[in-house]
Amino acid sequence: MKLKYLPPKKYLLKTVLLLLTCFYLPVCSFAQSLKVAVAANLQGVIKVLQQDFTQKTGITIEPIVGASGNLSNQIKNGAPFDIFLSADMAFPESLYNSGFTTSKPTVYASGSLIICSNQNLDLNHWEQLLQGNSVKKIAIANPATAPYGKAAQEVLQRKNLLQKVQPKIVYGESISQVNIYITTGAAEVGFTTEALISDVANKQKLYWKKIDSKTYQPIQQGIVILKHAAGNAQADKFFKYILSPAAQQIFKKYGYKTAKI
């Protein structure tokens, strides 16, 4: 049998390439970022959390931001997310009951509802303001998919205003879209999260008033690790980080009530 002769230089080159390939593949696998489904009310705060978490652990995350209901539907339809940060407990609990999570959801923060405008309106008397001629459009997130929209609808119902101002209401797909309506003036007022006021990315002066928390159900926000990330040590680290004092302090700066773990 005739042996094939491989020149030393070519042999050395192939050996190096083989070793690099063996080394590179596991590194690439390890370096994959966590896919985190993030409720739209966290659009500003997730950037700060992301930076702090990566700085502390070296692990990168890829936030996918949207209305909690829409994200929940995507998860049920097979979206390969690792963790879900919802704006309520109902959507993650539904995922848990349907077998899409590794455990029951945990409350990581509680949000507060505000009424907001880019105009200097008399928000201290917002009930009368909404019925007056100076307000032609009221922005609310879709109550079916956005917990803050559901809370806003609940407030208007309790104030006996929903039917009266219904023709003025414009619905945003998520709280992010409502924030755009508010900051651009497309709607004179809107119901949104207090986190908008603390968002460093928002340089615009806004006028706002906190809505009495007794007029809507508490907005407890839940986190779950999804089955896609079962046994993923990086997902476990992010879950624990969100409940850590460092992350809780960031939530507090954005107007959230911190979780009582």
Residue in 147, 141, 172 with CA at minimum distance from that of residue 222: 147
Three-state DSSP state, 220 = strand
C-alpha distance from residue 11 to each of 1, 3, 126, 194 (Å): 21, 14, 79, 64
Same fold, 29-111+219-258 and 113-215: yes
Q: Could you say which architecture CATH assigns to the domain 113-215?
A: 3-Layer(aba) Sandwich (3.40)
pTM for the model stands at 0.84
131-168 pLDDT, tens digit per residue, is 999 999 999 999 999 999 999 999 999 999 999 999 99
Q: Which CATH number among 3.50.50.60, 3.40.190.10, 2.30.30.90, 2.60.120.260 corresponds to the domain 29-111+219-258?
A: 3.40.190.10
- The SS3 assignment for 154 reads helix
pLDDT at 210 over 90: yes
Task: Spell out the domain ranges in the chain.
Answer: 29-111+219-258, 113-215
Average pLDDT score over residue span 176-204: 90
Which pLDDT score is estimated for 260? 63
Q: At what angle do helices 245-253 and 233-242 cross, to 10 degrees?
A: 50
80-132 pLDDT, tens digit per residue, is: 999 999 999 999 999 999 999 999 999 999 999 999 999 999 999 999 999 99
Q: How many CA atoms are closer than 13 Å to the CA of 205, on its beta-carbon side? A: 3
Q: State the pLDDT at residue 182.
A: 96
Average pLDDT over residues 32-57: 94
Amino acid, single-letter form, for residue 123: L
| DSSP classification of residue 124 | G
Q: Are 256 and 109 in contact (CB under 8 A)?
A: yes
Residue 104: beta bridge partners?
Answer: none
Residue 201, pLDDT score: 67
Q: Which residue has the higher pLDDT, 13 or 236?
A: 236
| Cα–Cα dist 38/84, whole Å | 6
